[in-house]
Amino acid sequence: MRLLALASRNLKETYRDPLALGFLLGFPLVFMLLFGAIFSGDETPNYAIGVIDEDNTPLSQAFVDEALAQVPVLEVSTYDDTATALRDLKFGDLKAYIVIPDGFGQQVNSNWQGDKADITLNITYDESDIMVSEQIVTIINATTRAFAQIEVPITINAEPIYIETEIDYMDFIGPGIIVFGILIIIPTAARTMVSDKEKGMLARLLTTPTRPIDFILGYSLGLVLLAAAQIIIIMLATWLLGLNMTGNPFLAFFVFLLTSLCCIGIGMVVASLTKTENQAEPLCWLFAMPLAALSGCWFSIELMPSYLRTFANAFPFAHTIEASRAILIRGVGLEAISYDFFFLVGWAVAIFALGVILFRRSMRS
């Protein structure tokens, strides 16, 4: 009987908190809809590639205009030299660039005449996104074979821009693992603050000379230090697991720390909108887990439908992953990630300020 009474009590507590019950029942449905949208979209991704035509023949120009430019997933731009294309590739404006070598038109013409000749192309690509780079090489191979009217694979001299060591899947997913770890700060911040609200600690503090802003800043400082320690530990762990940190780890750390400030601000917003831990924690995960999936923690954001990419880019986490991959894998500096960096700064300031304002109001109420 005591067992049944205890079970009845727990069910009634859950039932009497409709917000928590709604999150409990709705969370799996949200994930089903989210992954359904990600993997069942009928839109094709778009990959920006550059072309340097060193052959300068009618056939090489026809290859660019009538073959490459007609592939729906490719956005083709022409370049006069490889230096400019390489700069844009390192800055993330291109996913790859193709050099059409001298003699390409003659090779294609020989195949059209029935004389088999090897077709050669030179491709330099950004291998920090393994999934995308493999697709681009495959697409260009198939497009060239169709244009040259040959069945056998062509010769593609693929050169990654990162050449000091081979990029593997750990290098691709490592920054995503770090960002996912940072996302845990959202429920941690909200749970800590809501717990003190629920226990009446805030009400007692407000009877003392302690100002609400002092309490908020004290909490925030503690959470920032916790976040910094967490980032260091996760970065060391991913490095030990095989992540090649080519670029400046201190710049990457600062990017991750800005993301942590965003998470603390989100946690404060959630804490100001909820009354119990049962409400706060599910709401945090309902926010954090979909954003982890949409931001590219586990797979390339380029493979998603465009409307989901637009939604993901409105939040800081996709920018964090893009910037950290550029720093850690490609070894770029602040100038190459300036847009993502200042987006994170603006987002951190805005959400942190909003979190402080809302939580301060909730304390006073």
- pLDDT, position 6: 45
Written as six digits, the tokens of 226 are 């916790």
Asked whether 332 and 185 are in contact (CB, 8 A), the reply is no
What sign results for the dihedral spanned by CA atoms 65, 71, 76, 82? negative
Q: Transcribe 124-136 into DSSP letters.
A: EE-TTSHHHHHHH
What is the rounded CA–CA span in Å between residue 271 and residue 44?
Answer: 39
- pLDDT, position 342: 93
Q: What is the DSSP letter of 52?
A: E
Q: What global pTM score does this model have?
A: 0.65
Kind plus residue range of the DSSP H or E element containing 165: none
- Helix ranges (H only) for the chain are 2-15, 18-39, 58-62, 82-90, 104-112, 130-148, 169-183, 185-199, 201-205, 212-240, 249-273, 277-294, 306-312, 316-328, 338-364
At position 230, the amino acid (one-letter code) is Q
- pLDDT, position 166: 56
Mean pLDDT of the chain: 76
Asked whether 230 and 181 are in contact (CB, 8 A), the reply is yes
Residues of the chain with pLDDT under 70: 1-45, 127-131, 150-169, 198-216, 362-365
Encode pLDDT of 141-168 as tens digits.
Answer: 888 778 777 665 566 666 666 544 456 6
What is the rounded CA–CA span in Å between residue 302 and residue 131?
Answer: 9
CA dihedral defined by 152, 155, 161, 162, rounded to 10 degrees?
80
Where residue 271 falls (left for φ over 0; alpha for ψ -120 to 50; beta otherwise) is: alpha
What is the rounded CA–CA span in Å between residue 301 and residue 131?
Answer: 10
Domain boundaries, the chain: 47-160, 168-364
- pLDDT, position 192: 77
What is the rounded CA–CA span in Å between residue 171 and residue 326?
Answer: 11
> What number does CATH give the domain 47-160?
3.40.1710.10
- Characterize the bridge pairing of strands 96-100 and 47-53: parallel
Q: What angle do CA 86, 302, 227 make, to 5 degrees?
A: 90
Cβ-based neighbours of 18, under 8 Å, separated by 6 or more = none
Among candidate residues 212, 253, 211, 225, the one with its CA nearest the CA of residue 355: 212
What is the rounded CA–CA span in Å between residue 256 and residue 31?
Answer: 26
- pLDDT, position 347: 92
The Cβ of residue 75 has, within 10 Å, a number of other Cβ atoms equal to 14
Displacement of CA 12 from its chain's centroid (Å): 40
